[in-house]
Amino acid sequence: MSMIEYALDGSVAVVTLNSGENRFNIRFVERFLTVLDEIEHGTDADALVVRSAHEKIFCNGIDLDWLRPIAEAGERETIREFCRILNRLLGRILMYPMPTIAAITGHAFAGGAIMCCCFDFRFMRSDRGFFCFPEVDLGIPFWPGMVAMVKKAIPAQILDDLYYLGTRLTGRECEEHRIVRRALPMDELMPEVLAFAKSLRKNRAYYSAQKERMNRGIIRIMEEEDPAVIETGKISVGP
């Protein structure tokens, strides 16, 4: 079984993250990018949905068990490679040429929560899981582009608590703050997400143009400001 799989449900491409806690390392991100390419260029899908196979975790961010030994060994080029490809994934989701929906089926922490902000729409289960940016306690500062991504998705009045304090929000709280469209029990989540996705029959070219104009500022920051951070080859992974 592949770490990331997809299947078509009518006009909707449903991607399933199937790698345990779905933590980001180079192999996982490369596979994710490959799946996105296959869907865009090899299907007639009108919408993209991403969910997790894990019973309680959507995505737990960077694979620190993989990254820490690399950082401790001073392998800066490997760190640069990882940071570049992770940014490619975030930008790819942000600009994907069809409606994108994160079905947050459990915990979305750190990079996993940042990735959720790159989707056009978010739904979350209400009976289990937190949305959280623990980077302030992990010692991994956001890149400039990541700051722009979360500002796109999260209202300013709650973003300060998430960003500076590492506050955890439940699905219901995310719905209250309009971070997600709806929070639902797990058995209702995917039917609701799929019904919504199937209603989004948009022309890819026009939708892509809309995204380019909406997200141009984020892409500019990713292209102009992120490289200065990434190319140092340094990353803090704890106190």
State pLDDT tens for residues 59-110: 999 998 998 898 888 888 998 999 999 999 999 999 999 999 999 999 999 9
For 4-198, CATH number out of 3.40.50.2300, 3.30.1490.100, 3.40.50.300, 3.90.226.10 equals: 3.90.226.10
pLDDT, tens only, 176-214: 999 999 999 999 999 999 999 999 989 999 999 999 999
Looking at residue 133, what is its pLDDT? 95
* Residue 238 predicted with pLDDT over 50: no
The answer to whether residues 50 and 41 touch, using CB atoms and an 8 Å cutoff, is: no
pLDDT, tens only, 101-151: 999 999 999 999 999 999 999 999 999 999 999 988 887 889 999 999 999
Model confidence pTM above 0.95? no
Q: At 16, is the secondary structure helix, strand, or coil?
A: strand
Alpha-helical (H) ranges within the chain are 26-42, 64-72, 76-94, 111-118, 135-138, 144-153, 156-165, 171-176, 186-198, 204-214, 216-224, 226-230
Spatial distance between the Cα atoms of 143 and 225, rounded to a whole number of angstroms: 8
